[in-house]
Amino acid sequence: MKVVLTGLNYINHARELGMDLPEYPIIFLKPSTAVIGPGDPIVLPEEVGRVDYEGEIAVVIGKRCKAISEEEVPKVIRGITALNDVTARDVQRRDGQWTRAKSYDTFCPISDELIEDFDLSQPIEVETRVNGRLRQRDSSANMIFSIPYLVSFISRVMTLEEGDVIATGTPPGIGPLNSGDEVEVSVIHKGRRVEVVNPVV
Ligand code: MG
């Protein structure tokens, strides 16, 4: 199982990081050892500086596929879920590439619920709360690269397998996590809501 993530897929998030808008999707991986479920603690590593939440809409692949078209994408998606792309922000800036910043154990909370009755032509909302306070709220309608485009693009790079997860980038409003916080990422679509809530230690 692999987790493939997208950088800078909302215009205003690219701006808040001071980065140029991408001409094509910037993708990266998290190891499966970073994945945790609802209620599991996000463990802040020592001496890495700031660690941020990034609430994201994710899709779970239901069928092995390679080099599929955008039109074929809905058929290979099992469902939509909520993911927190936890990021060691200072490390990300220092290293220049993102592997270490994104890969610490516990840095990939994923909901255990799926929205299987989805329609990718309809908006998908994402919300992030820290200690109950709303920090991020946005819609798939504001993505630079749509979910069908992204999944097709990634499938032309690597074979996607059943159970793989693709995260679609975070909207504006990122911010730090501190020990003792509780962070919640929710995804809302067609009247259904799935979430992943984790304490930070
Ligand atoms: Mg992200």
The residue ranges of every structural domain in the chain are 3-42+51-199
Going by pLDDT thresholds of 50, 70 and 90, the confidence category of residue 22 is confident
Where b means 16+ CB within 10 Å and e means fewer, 150-171 reads bbbebbeeeebeeebbbbbbbb
Question: Span 90-117, mean pLDDT?
Answer: 96
pLDDT in tens, 156-199: 999 999 999 999 999 999 999 999 999 999 999 999 999 999 99
**Residue whose structure tokens are 């994710």:** 58
Q: How far is the CA of 199 from the centre of ligand 1 (A)?
A: 19
- How many angstroms separate the CA atoms of 128 and 196, rounded? 10
Does pLDDT of 129 surpass 80? yes
Percent of the chain scoring above 90 in pLDDT: 91
pLDDT in tens, 51-82: 999 999 999 999 999 999 999 999 999 999 99
Helix (H, G, I), strand (E, B) or coil at 129: strand
Does pLDDT of 132 surpass 90? yes
Q: How far is the CA of 5 from the centre of ligand 1 (A)?
A: 7
And the tokens for 79? 């469902």
Q: How far is the CA of 56 from the centre of ligand 1 (A)?
A: 7
- How many angstroms separate the CA atoms of 83 and 185, rounded? 7
What pLDDT shows up at residue 184?
98
H or E stretch covering 189: strand 182-189
Q: How far is the CA of 169 from the centre of ligand 1 (A)?
A: 5
Q: How far is the CA of 174 from the centre of ligand 1 (A)?
A: 9
Helix (H, G, I), strand (E, B) or coil at 195: strand
Q: Give me the chain's average pLDDT, please.
A: 96
What pLDDT shows up at residue 13?
78
What pLDDT shows up at residue 164?
98
CATH code of the region 3-42+51-199: 3.90.850.10
Q: If you ran DSSP here, which 8-state letter would residue 41 be given?
A: P
Question: Span 132-144, mean pLDDT?
Answer: 96
What pLDDT shows up at residue 109?
99
Beta carbons of 166 and 58 less than 8 angstroms apart:
yes
Beta carbons of 79 and 59 less than 8 angstroms apart:
yes
Going by pLDDT thresholds of 50, 70 and 90, the confidence category of residue 15 is confident
Q: Listing from the earlier edge strand, what are the strands of the sheet with 175-176?
A: 87-88, 51-53, 175-176
